[in-house]
């Protein structure tokens, strides 16, 4: 009996004098000061007075004495039979990234705060003395502990047993069912009830201390994988929390990095920056020591400037001290949750720079809410230029996905096509179909609808810029930066190909500017049903192409394509608006009018002798020779066969880094030679052939005309030396020089003998010098 009384007395003394587990939970005067400072974006750090010292000591151990531990073990519970299997799945499979444990625990705290806030709308007294709704994170490196504290609704003993002792038991879901009859809605995040178990990714043991208004303060404690059960008991220290929940993680040895201030700060900013409640992190800072002693005032008021400067130079460095306090980590509010009418442009720009980490103003932005089968809110920005490293492999999307302001992922492969990866912003939804770990998006109809709406909204934003006639330079800037992305969209996004094609602009052969397909069609000649285009290596080179001569003279326009991706995009479209086919003027079969076709037939008969001759001597290089309807000033031109590649595409394919040499060798196959029947050279050549003067001179002339046409039409010569040799022979004949005359050779024998004589003289001089030295 005496021993029992002594034990009870010991328990009483320890209970009274043992510091609380988390000093912030006490309703002390110093705590009230800290709570008032929460309204500031960053709480000023307090000096290390007695209150702060007590708060440091409060978590120097796990908060329990030996007697407390004995009381906590009085009521043990067994986990459900499958709990060990669940722990193994969570630790080894469900979460691939350990960092998300903090996201899940803060999300649970968010739910608890939302519940009590919801109830306080109809019953303000339910908040009691704990009126501030916030989340606080505190690390204890000395003991390997991490604390997450909220002032939410808390949990009763039954809640702890049901929610933490059962697999996937969602307290949030039950809470909603209880209030569903009210017809009101409440903001919550938790859906699956297993987020809490992510604690065991980093902790061997987890202690949960919780106080609900309808029950005493209880403590739940359990271990991770291979654990047989958990314990739950009334807290021997009484009500230290006021209301809410404190989770203490006893970290594993390989998880001690989560006790670093900067690591915790970065994780909070990554995952929970935009939740509705303040998140505070216990932090330290070095500040100068404040001098309290009064210094004697100088008797002589006339002190020279030199003396003051000497005193300042001799002044010792101030003493520094470490102070502790709460720092708010999430000052940025979720701008996209507010009404558009309440937000100024300055707010959007500030959010873009602060939250999305950009140094420049965006080119354009849009803020919208999608409703229907797929409901979400999005705030999207177009940057003023392509992000650095955009074309590098592995460039990540610039969009971030949130579920009720909690960051889920920025891997948007399934949410936004790669050609739109330059778009920045946030997408937030209460109904995103997430899997149980919140780390992957499920493939289902809802997800497809969200992606469809997002892409179409982005393209509509592009079109708004294009339609802004009062500010055309904005679209010019946009197109200069992102035109290649749009053309890639033409190739890869078949569903939105028509929308993207309305945004494309190409250089006009008739005008010194870029035009749209709509503008080209509006300027078509009567009877024209096709859109003509020509590709090349450079804009200036294309403009000098002989293939443009007659087409421009007839009043037709041609789109000029100097970019490598241009022809790919045009060929992918096939027909604009399903009505106007694209025609490459560098290929055979071009038809401008019926009148031209009739003239071509008539002239072809007259030049048949020449075309047959050219086809015969160039048989290894051309498939046919015919009269051209597209030349005015050039004697001839080379075009591709209707099924073959254009000169520009052939050049691009040959430049591919991983090209197949066997395939590339076939690209320069036979081509079509077109001759200009009105050109003097062609007329002269016709007369030579008709008169039978088809010697080497005429043959060289034909080959030179062909090779020069190859170069002028944008193709590459297979053997440039052959062209040079023929040109030299023609020049020789023109200068009355025999092309076969031998070239004078230079002899170097005498020069060699002179060199040997010089070397001999040098050796003799050297020998004489050596003799003199001796």
Reduce the DSSP state of residue 165 to 3 states and report it. Answer: coil
Determine the Cα–Cα distance for residues 494 and 500; give it in Å rounded to an integer: 10
Distance of CA 637 to the CA centre of its chain: 46
Neighbours of 68 (CB within 10 A): 20
Contact of 414 with 450, CB cutoff 8 Å = no
Determine the Cα–Cα distance for residues 640 and 618; give it in Å rounded to an integer: 15
The secondary structure of residue 499, as a DSSP letter, is H
Residue with tokens 């006490």: 26
Determine the Cα–Cα distance for residues 702 and 696; give it in Å rounded to an integer: 10
Residue with tokens 């047993």: 161
Contact of 61 with 19, CB cutoff 8 Å = no
Task: Go through the chain and tell me how many residues it has.
Answer: 774
Residue with tokens 């009691």: 128
Task: State which residues of the chain have pLDDT below 70.
Answer: 1-96, 165-194, 225-228, 291-315, 412-414, 432-444, 656-669, 748-774
Contact of 83 with 230, CB cutoff 8 Å = no
Contact of 406 with 350, CB cutoff 8 Å = no
Determine the Cα–Cα distance for residues 276 and 2; give it in Å rounded to an integer: 55
pLDDT per position as a tens digit, 728-742: 888 887 787 877 777
Per the rule left: phi > 0, alpha: psi between -120 and 50, beta: everything else, 511 is beta
The secondary structure of residue 255, as a DSSP letter, is G
Two structure tokens written together for 358: 């950009």
Two structure tokens written together for 667: 């690209």
Residue with tokens 């009877």: 527
Q: Supply angle C-alpha 702, 705, 706, rounded to 5.
A: 85
Two structure tokens written together for 216: 């005493």
Determine the Cα–Cα distance for residues 355 and 119; give it in Å rounded to an integer: 32
Two structure tokens written together for 453: 């709406």
- Using CB atoms within 10 Å of the CB of residue 24, give its burial: 0 to 12 exposed, 13 to 18 middle, 19+ buried: buried
Determine the Cα–Cα distance for residues 79 and 222; give it in Å rounded to an integer: 9
Sign of the four-CA dihedral 607, 611, 612, 614: positive
Can you list the domains of the chain with their CATH numbers?
A: 65-281 (3.30.565.10), 335-467 (3.30.230.80), 505-577 (3.40.50.11260), 594-734 (1.20.120.790)
**DSSP bridge partners of 675:** 627, 636
DSSP count for the chain of H helices, then E strands: 26, 23
Exposed e or buried b per residue across 244-263, where buried means at least 16 C-beta atoms within 10 angstroms of its C-beta: bbbbbbbbbeebeebbeeee
Q: Supply angle C-alpha 317, 53, 251, rounded to 5.
A: 105
Two structure tokens written together for 363: 């080119």
Determine the Cα–Cα distance for residues 27 and 215; give it in Å rounded to an integer: 19
**DSSP bridge partners of 284:** 324
**DSSP bridge partners of 365:** 381
How far are the Cα atoms of 99, 147, 266, 400, 405 from residue 272, in angstroms, in the given order? 12, 16, 10, 12, 7
pLDDT at position 666 is 56
Determine the Cα–Cα distance for residues 695 and 697; give it in Å rounded to an integer: 5
Reduce the DSSP state of residue 229 to 3 states and report it. Answer: strand
Determine the Cα–Cα distance for residues 222 and 206; give it in Å rounded to an integer: 6
pLDDT at position 80 is 52
pLDDT per position as a tens digit, 332-373: 778 898 888 889 999 999 899 888 888 889 999 999 998 887
Determine the Cα–Cα distance for residues 160 and 567; give it in Å rounded to an integer: 65
Determine the Cα–Cα distance for residues 206 and 248; give it in Å rounded to an integer: 6
Crossing angle (nearest 10°) for helices 608-617 and 680-690: 90
CA-wise closest residue to 377 among 410, 423, 426, 414:
426
Would you give the end-to-end CA distance of the chain in angstroms? 124
């Amino acid at each position: 009996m005496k021993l029992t009384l002594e034990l009870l007395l010991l328990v009483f003394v320890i209970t009274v004098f043992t510091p609380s587990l988390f000093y912030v939970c006490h309703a002390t005067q110093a705590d009230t000061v800290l709570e008032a400072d929460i309204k500031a974006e960053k709480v000023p750090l307090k000096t290390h007075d007695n209150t702060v010292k007590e708060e440091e000591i409060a978590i120097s151990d796990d908060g329990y004495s030996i007697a407390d531990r004995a009381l906590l073990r009085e009521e043990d519970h067994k986990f459900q039979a499958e709990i060990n299997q669940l722990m193994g799945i969570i630790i080894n499979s469900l979460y691939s990234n350990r960092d998300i444990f903090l996201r899940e625990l803060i999300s649970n705290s968010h739910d608890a705060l939302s519940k009590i806030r919801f109830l306080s709308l109809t019953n303000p007294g339910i908040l009691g003395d704990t009126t501030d709704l916030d989340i606080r994170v505190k690390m204890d490196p000395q003991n390997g502990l991490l604390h997450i504290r909220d002032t939410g609704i808390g949990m009763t003993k039954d809640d702890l047993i049901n929610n933490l002792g059962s697999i996937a038991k969602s307290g949030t879901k039950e809470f909603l069912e209880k209030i569903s009859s009210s017809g009101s809605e409440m903001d919550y995040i938790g859906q699956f009830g297993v987020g809490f178990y992510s604690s065991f990714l980093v902790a061997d043991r987890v202690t949960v201390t919780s106080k609900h208004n309808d029950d005493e303060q209880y403590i739940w404690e359990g271990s991770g994988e291979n654990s047989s059960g958990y314990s739950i008991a009334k807290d021997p220290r009484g009500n230290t929390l006021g209301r809410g929940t404190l989770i203490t993680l006893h970290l594993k040895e390989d998880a001690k990095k989560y006790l670093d201030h900067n690591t915790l700060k970065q994780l909070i900013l990554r995952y929970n920056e935009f939740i509705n409640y303040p998140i505070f992190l216990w932090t330290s800072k070095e500040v100068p020591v404040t001098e309290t002693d009064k210094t004697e005032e100088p008797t002589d008021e006339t002190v020279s400037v030199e003396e003051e400067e000497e005193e300042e130079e001799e002044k010792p460095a101030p003493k520094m001290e470490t102070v502790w306090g709460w720092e708010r980590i999430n000052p940025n509010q979720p701008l996209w949750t507010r009404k558009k009418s309440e937000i100024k442009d300055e707010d959007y720009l500030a959010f873009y720079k602060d939250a999305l980490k950009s140094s420049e103003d965006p080119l354009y932005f849009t803020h919208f809410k999608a409703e229907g089968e797929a409901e979400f809110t999005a705030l999207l920005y177009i940057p003023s230029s392509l992000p650095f490293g955009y074309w590098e492999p592995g460039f990540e999307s610039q969009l971030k996905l949130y579920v009720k302001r909690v960051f889920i992922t920025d891997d948007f492969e399934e949410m936004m096509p790669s050609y739109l990866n330059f778009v920045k912003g946030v997408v937030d939804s209460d109904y995103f179909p997430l899997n149980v770990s919140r780390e992957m998006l499920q493939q289902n109809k809802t997800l497809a609808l969200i992606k469809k709406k997002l892409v179409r909204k982005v393209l509509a934003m592009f079109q708004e810029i294009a339609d802004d006639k009062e500010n055309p330079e904005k679209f010019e800037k946009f197109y200069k930066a992102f035109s290649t992305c749009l053309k890639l969209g033409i190739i890869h996004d078949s569903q939105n190909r028509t929308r993207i094609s309305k945004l494309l602009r190409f250089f006009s052969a008739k005008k010194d500017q870029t035009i749209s397909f709509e503008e080209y069609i509006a300027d078509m000649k009567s009877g024209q049903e096709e859109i003509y285009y020509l590709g090349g290596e450079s804009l200036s080179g294309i403009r000098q192409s002989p293939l443009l001569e007659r087409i421009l003279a007839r009043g037709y326009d041609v789109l000029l394509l100097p970019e490598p991706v241009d022809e790919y995009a045009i060929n992918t479209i096939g027909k604009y608006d399903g009505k106007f086919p694209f025609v490459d003027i560098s290929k055979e079969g071009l038809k401008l009018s019926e009148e031209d076709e009739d003239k071509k037939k008539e002239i072809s008969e007259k030049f048949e002798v020449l075309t047959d001759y050219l086809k015969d001597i160039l048989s290894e290089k051309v498939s046919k020779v015919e009269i051209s309807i597209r030349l005015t000033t050039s004697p001839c031109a080379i075009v591709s066969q209707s099924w073959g590649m254009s000169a520009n595409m052939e050049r691009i394919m040959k430049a591919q880094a991983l090209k197949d040499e066997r395939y590339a060798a076939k690209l320069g196959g036979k081509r079509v030679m077109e001759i200009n029947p009105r050109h003097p050279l062609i007329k002269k050549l016709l007369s030579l052939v008709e008169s039978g003067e088809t010697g080497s001179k005429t043959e060289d002339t034909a080959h030179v005309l062909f090779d020069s046409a190859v170069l002028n039409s944008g193709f590459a010569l297979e053997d440039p030396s052959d062209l040079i040799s023929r040109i030299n022979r023609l020049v020789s004949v023109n200068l009355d020089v025999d092309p076969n005359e031998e070239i004078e050779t230079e002899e170097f024998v005498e020069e060699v003998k002179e060199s040997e004589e010089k070397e001999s003289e040098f050796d003799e001089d050297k020998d004489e010098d050596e003799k003199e030295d001796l």
